[in-house]
Amino acid sequence: MWTIYPKKHKSVPINHLPMRLGISIFPGWKEIKSEQMELIKKANEYGYSQIFMGIGPGTHWRTPVTEAFKEAKEYLELANKLGYYVFFDVNPEIFRELSVSPQTVDKFKDYGFSAIRVDYGFSVEQIIEMSKKIKIELNPFEFPLNELDSFLQKVDMEKVAVSHNYYPVYYTAISLSDAVEKSKRFKEKGLSVGAFVDNSKFRLRTTVETLRFKTPGYAGRLLFLAGVADRILIGDPVPYEDDLLSLKNSFIGDSVLFNVITEREVKQQEQLIHLVCEVKDFMLQCRSNGNVECEREEVNSLEKGNVILNCKDNRSIIIGLKDTYGIVDKSYRLGEIVEKELLDFKPTRISLKIVKL
């Protein structure tokens, strides 16, 4: 059984971590309460397992923290009944509003939260103290990296994860390179990292600015493949069903799904192919989970995004990373990957969904 939090100092390659998907709930936004309650149920049906809960005042509401915290109870009861992992932001101001201290954070666990995200304003010693009573989510832009090794020696790593901020204001989110760099140090220690994507209804709460206005599925795959996160949460509330499906259908277990278009008729057994790949300079050299019939367009060159079957071995498939010429073995093109730019991250565990153009 997969676990979200690897054991102490065990480094786990991000492409081999299980993908966890999540949604965001805002108890203070009372006008959409019924929609948010339904979202918790619907997302659970689609396999979503995590909830970020925003307690503080937000872009569309000004509900006091104490009142929003009370409103959260009904959401938590439903979420816990369905088995969600639920965490929320804390800072010194929220602690004062709720009359909580680092020594009394077990109140949140008793209330129904799985974890608290330590946003800003706490010392490393205080975070260590809190981790003894409830699971902790670190903010990678606030936690002092020079103290990470010492911190990890003093905590139970089963009780520590990491999650990025989201940025509702246009042009204020971070770059992809900054997200990769920040995540890298925590991933190297075996910590699970979460990040946010927006939805097509609001286009606000995203971690990486260049992924604003992208579909949740595309943004989620890119964040995963780039090594930013192994947990992807939709930051905006009440996403359309298409947004939920976009993200859900982008992953199969620990594999990233790529759509492959072809002009030929596709047989039922060939519509979904699971691959384990070895990265080469010009290609991904892959093995499929089963034989694929070899009745395709014959080719003698390889272009980026081409999916090529070696007819001497009907389980051997190559995917072009660069344009080249002179394929020696008798080969046939199965189709072409739609979002070729995602191949730049050189995935090693992928699934291909072949669809007729």
pLDDT in tens, the chain (357 residues): 233 333 333 333 433 445 799 999 999 999 999 999 999 999 999 999 999 999 988 767 789 999 999 999 999 999 999 999 999 999 999 999 999 999 999 999 999 999 999 999 999 999 999 999 999 999 999 999 999 999 999 999 999 999 999 999 999 999 999 999 999 999 999 999 999 999 999 999 999 999 999 999 999 999 999 999 999 999 999 999 999 999 999 999 889 999 999 887 777 656 889 999 999 999 999 999 877 765 666 777 889 999 998 877 778 999 999 998 766 567 788 899 999 999 999 999 999 998 887
Residue 242, phi then psi, degrees to nearest 5: -60, -35
Question: Residue 264: what pLDDT?
Answer: 75
Whole-number Å distance between alpha carbons of 340 and 323: 12
* Burial track 325-337 (b if 16+ CB lie within 10 A, e otherwise): eebeeebbbbbbb
Token pair belonging to 331 = 């080969």
- Ordered by start, the domain boundaries in the chain are 14-253, 257-356
Token pair belonging to 149 = 């090794």
CA distances from 342 to 237, 278, 336, 345 (A): 27, 16, 13, 6
Question: Residue 8: what pLDDT?
Answer: 37
Superfamily the domain 257-356 falls into: Cyclophilin-like (2.40.100.10)
Question: Residue 42: what pLDDT?
Answer: 98
Q: Do 14-253 and 257-356 show the same overall fold?
A: no
Are 172 and 204 in contact by the 8 Å Cβ rule? The answer is no
CATH match for 14-253 among 1.20.1050.10, 3.30.1330.200, 3.40.50.970, 3.20.20.70: 3.20.20.70
Token look-up 């520590």 returns 160
Handedness of CA 281, 286, 292, 293 (dihedral sign): positive
Cα 74 vs. chain centroid, distance in angstroms? 26
DSSP state of 94: H
Question: Residue 314: what pLDDT?
Answer: 77
Q: Helix, strand or coil for residue 325?
A: strand
At 20, which helix (H) or strand (E)? strand 20-25
Question: Residue 4: what pLDDT?
Answer: 31
DSSP state of 211: G
